[in-house]
């Protein structure tokens, strides 16, 4: 499997990023699509709005969020998006892009962990 990196979408693109894939359900505020350097926006692999709102700003609930998010990744739309992501990983490095300020507790971190367990 190719290398999986994480980066805030607001950080500049780098050659080493490989495929830059946005894994948030909402488009990040204040960033133009032309300047984002995003190769693919996988909305269907992001947590549901309800889960995102329930967890927002509550890093103490991290394990509960992960468990709920991993359960959501079993839905057909998320499975299809995960298959697309797997195809990118077979081609080379991938950078999962996210907008959250918390670099340790966000859906991209959880998704990377899930990918390592399920690919």
Give me the mean pLDDT over the 93-107 stretch: 95
Residues with Cβ < 8 Å from 113, sequence gap 6 or more?
66
Q: Give tens-digit pLDDT for 58-93.
A: 878 999 999 999 999 999 999 999 999 999 999 999
User: pTM for the complete prediction?
Assistant: 0.94
Q: Where are the domains of the chain?
A: 4-118
**pLDDT averaged over every residue in the chain:** 94
Helices (H) then strands (E): counts for the chain: 5, 4
Quick: pLDDT tens for 27-36.
999 999 888 8
Closest C-alpha to 108, from 119, 97, 93: 97
81, 49, 59, 110 alpha-carbon torsion, rounded to 10°: -10
* Per-residue model confidence (pLDDT) at position 102: 92
- Is the pLDDT at 1 greater than 70? The verdict is no
Give residue 58's pLDDT.
82
The pLDDT of residue 59 is 79
What percent of the chain is modeled with pLDDT above 70? 99
Query: In the structure, what pLDDT confidence band is assigned to residue 57 with cuts at 50, 70 and 90?
Result: confident
Distance CA 65, CA 70 (A): 8
């Amino acid at each position: 499997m190719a290398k999986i990196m994480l980066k805030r979408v607001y950080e500049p693109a780098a050659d080493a990023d490989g495929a830059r894939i946005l894994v948030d359900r909402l488009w990040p505020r204040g960033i133009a699509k032309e300047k984002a350097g995003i190769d693919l926006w996988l909305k269907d692999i992001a947590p549901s709005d309800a889960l995102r709102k329930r967890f927002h700003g509550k890093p103490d609930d991290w394990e509960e969020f992960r468990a709920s998010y991993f359960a959501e990744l079993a839905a057909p739309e998320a499975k299809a998006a995960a298959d697309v992501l797997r195809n990118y990983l077979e081609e080379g490095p991938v950078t999962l892009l996210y907008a959250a300020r918390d670099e340790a507790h966000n859906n991209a971190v959880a998704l990377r962990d899930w990918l390592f367990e399920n690919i």
